[in-house]
Amino acid sequence: MRRGYRFAAVWLVMLSAVLAACSDPSSEPSAQRGEPLVTGLPDFTRLVEKEGPAVVNISTVTHRDESSAADQLKQLPEFFQHFFEQFGGEGDMPSLPEQDDTRSLGSGFIISADGYVLTNNHVVAEADEIMVRLQDRRELPAELVGADEQSDLALLKVDAGDLPVVDIGSSADLKVGEWVLAIGAPFGFDSSVTAGIVSAKGRSLPSDSYVPFIQTDVAINPGNSGGPLFNLSGEVVGINSQIFSRSGGYMGVSFAIPMDMAMDVVSQLKDGGKVSRGWLGVLIQEVDRDLAESFDLDSPRGALVSQVLAGSPAEAAGVEPGDVITRFNDETIYRSSELPRWVGLVKPESDVDMVVIRDGEKKTLSVTIGLLPDNPEMALKGGAESDKASPAVKLGLAVREASASELSRLDLKAGVVVTQVSDGPARQAGIQAGDILVTLHNTPINSAADLADAAAALPEEGTVAALVNRDGTPRFLALKLP
């Protein structure tokens, strides 16, 4: 019996020790000891009340083309042209339906009390009339001060004073995971408020080489373009610009132009009506694992130079094809898409250092940055002005050679990567940046020189076929030549 009592006593002592340890604050989980990582959902009401009046709706009108009936007739198939010529009467052309004016809606916000309004370039591009509507229902005609297609920004001016203005913040201070809020007019619904978080920073999109986008999951739809993106302090940190969508509507991936970059563009537009950017003069491509191994890199990183343009700042600095640019102006280059935006931020005629890997060794080159030509296609030709653009440029295409791994992955024997599509037959046909151009008019394309030769041999007018591979799917597209 004594042994039983003794065992019970020992058991009680052990149990007391365990209970004491559990009650000891120092033994509690760290999540309970410290401050909670998430304190709850924010209240946006004060922010909307304060900043909402400075957000505006922007409507535009683009007048129909006043082309003559004869010009319109030329757009019809030959059968109808022949029919109207035979039966249309002497000297009389048929009356074709008139094309209505084009109207569009977007958003913007007032950045100064004397009437400067910031929005997206694509909201007001080619508009003949621009109207700004305030939350107090006033409608004011706006003048386009200047626009920058590369950053998709436009600065407007209305004739009014003492207007409500937004507070301008810094996108550099923005953190991934931070709450943000958008105000705009999706589908024409005025003053709609949506909220979310910052999903990522510094995103590069294939069609926008000069903008390090802020990615968010804020609900952005057509009509939100040009509207402000606020942080919780009520400061504008971005301009809602694009969505990634398979349906045309919101799918949880939205992109905003950083405010720090936007204000630099605004300053230049106010001063001269246009934006000046730095220009290096190289064609670059991504470094994959196989290329990294072949260039003696410890990991896939940097921008691989596939071509140095004649007469460019890069040529003067001694850059060579095959160089891998890993650092530019104290900025590390992890992906090739990062290089254009860092170069674009440098003022022309500035001297910067650039680190390249050549034959497995690091080299530091000093380069004097040039001025990016107004016509992006001219930059791809080395910046040399000419009265007659090359045939490839007339198609609206810029390409680079595809790496062996890119072709192997898609099981292709030939092809070039489309790096840029501008106004012209290529864009009208639906060719996109990132497509692999395999053939043009039944001619295999393996290089930019092949494309130039094939384009030069095209007929002056008519329709030709281009075979492209997009995400592993081959498709023929019809290019209508002017």
Q: Identify the active-site residue in 225, 336, 337, 403.
A: 225
In the chain, the number of structural domains is: 3
Q: Could you identify the residue written with the tokens 């120092």? A: 26
Question: For the chain, what percent of residues have pLDDT higher than 70?
Answer: 79
Q: What is the pLDDT of residue 421?
A: 81
Q: What is the pLDDT of residue 133?
A: 95
Kindly state whether residue 110 falls inside one of the protein's structural domains: no
Q: What is the pLDDT of residue 397?
A: 82
Clarify whether residues 300 and 244 are in a common domain: no
Residue 210: pLDDT over 90: no
Kindly state whether residue 353 falls inside one of the protein's structural domains: yes
Q: What is the pLDDT of residue 40?
A: 75
Clarify whether residues 355 and 283 are in a common domain: yes
By the 8 A CB rule, do 348 and 276 touch?
yes
Clarify whether residues 245 and 191 are in a common domain: yes
Length of the chain: 482
CA-to-CA separations, 310 to 177, 316, 323, 400, in angstroms, rounded:
45, 9, 16, 16
Clarify whether residues 426 and 365 are in a common domain: no
Q: How confident is the model at residue 231 (pLDDT cuts 50, 70, 90)?
A: very high
Segment 136-153 shows an average pLDDT of 92
Q: What is the pLDDT of residue 362?
A: 92
Whole-angstrom Cα distance, residue 464 to residue 477? 8
Q: What is the pLDDT of residue 28?
A: 46
Pairing of strands 167-168, 235-243: parallel
Q: What is the pLDDT of residue 316?
A: 92
Q: How confident is the model at residue 132 (pLDDT cuts 50, 70, 90)?
A: very high
Residue 249, classed as helix, strand or coil, is coil
Residue 318: pLDDT over 50: yes
Q: For residue 194, how many other CB atoms are within 10 A of its CB? A: 22
Range in 19-28, 155-164, 271-280, 379-388 with the lowest mean pLDDT? 379-388
Q: What is the pLDDT of residue 115?
A: 94
Any catalytic annotation for residue 68? no
Kindly state whether residue 455 falls inside one of the protein's structural domains: yes
Q: What is the pLDDT of residue 257?
A: 96
Pairing of strands 370-371, 278-279: antiparallel
CATH (domain of 241): 2.40.10.10
Clarify whether residues 289 and 343 are in a common domain: yes
pLDDT in tens, 456-474: 888 878 888 888 998 888 8
Residue 81: pLDDT over 70: no
Whole-angstrom Cα distance, residue 337 to residue 233? 32
CA-to-CA separations, 244 to 218, 331, 482, in angstroms, rounded:
12, 28, 32
Q: What is the pLDDT of residue 21?
A: 52
Q: How confident is the model at residue 150 (pLDDT cuts 50, 70, 90)?
A: confident
First to last CA, the chain: 110
The DSSP line for 311-354 is: TSHHHHHT--TT-EEEEETTEE-SSTTHHHHHHHHSPTT-EEEE
Kindly state whether residue 9 falls inside one of the protein's structural domains: no
Where among 336, 371, 406 does a domain terminate? 371
Clarify whether residues 196 and 246 are in a common domain: yes
Residue 479: pLDDT over 90: no
CATH (domain of 462): 2.30.42.10
Any catalytic annotation for residue 63? no
Clarify whether residues 175 and 228 are in a common domain: yes
Residue 135: pLDDT over 50: yes
Q: Identify the active-site residue in 59, 104, 122, 336.
A: 122
Q: How confident is the model at residue 427 (pLDDT cuts 50, 70, 90)?
A: confident
Kindly state whether residue 433 falls inside one of the protein's structural domains: yes
Q: Does residue 250 come out as left (phi exceeding 0), alpha (psi in the -120 to 50 range) or beta?
A: beta
Paired residues of 181 in beta bridges: 195, 230
pLDDT in tens, 275-305: 888 999 998 888 888 888 888 888 899 999 9
Q: What is the pLDDT of residue 68?
A: 45
Q: How confident is the model at residue 423 (pLDDT cuts 50, 70, 90)?
A: confident
H helices within 318-390, ranges in order?
A: 338-345, 376-380
Kindly state whether residue 182 falls inside one of the protein's structural domains: yes
Where among 340, 371, 402 does a domain terminate? 371
Q: List the domain range (segments joined by +) for residue 313.
A: 278-371
Kindly state whether residue 117 falls inside one of the protein's structural domains: no
Q: What is the pLDDT of residue 384?
A: 40
Q: How confident is the model at residue 382 (pLDDT cuts 50, 70, 90)?
A: very low
| Single-letter amino acid, residue 368 | T
pLDDT in tens, 22-32: 555 444 444 45
Q: What is the pLDDT of residue 73?
A: 52
Q: What is the pLDDT of residue 89?
A: 45
Q: What is the pLDDT of residue 408?
A: 81
Clarify whether residues 313 and 345 are in a common domain: yes
Clarify whether residues 246 and 285 are in a common domain: no
Any catalytic annotation for residue 225? yes
Q: Identify the active-site residue in 148, 152, 208, 323.
A: 152
Segment 180-190 shows an average pLDDT of 93
Q: What is the pLDDT of residue 27?
A: 46
To the nearest whole number, what is the mean pLDDT of the chain?
Answer: 82
pLDDT in tens, 326-349: 999 999 999 888 899 899 989 899
Residue 245: pLDDT over 60: yes
| Closest to 122 measured CA to CA, from 99, 153, 78, 96 | 153
Clarify whether residues 321 and 358 are in a common domain: yes
Clarify whether residues 362 and 417 are in a common domain: no
Clarify whether residues 364 and 401 are in a common domain: no
Where among 225, 258, 291 does a domain terminate? 258
Kindly state whether residue 118 falls inside one of the protein's structural domains: no
Q: What is the pLDDT of residue 272?
A: 82
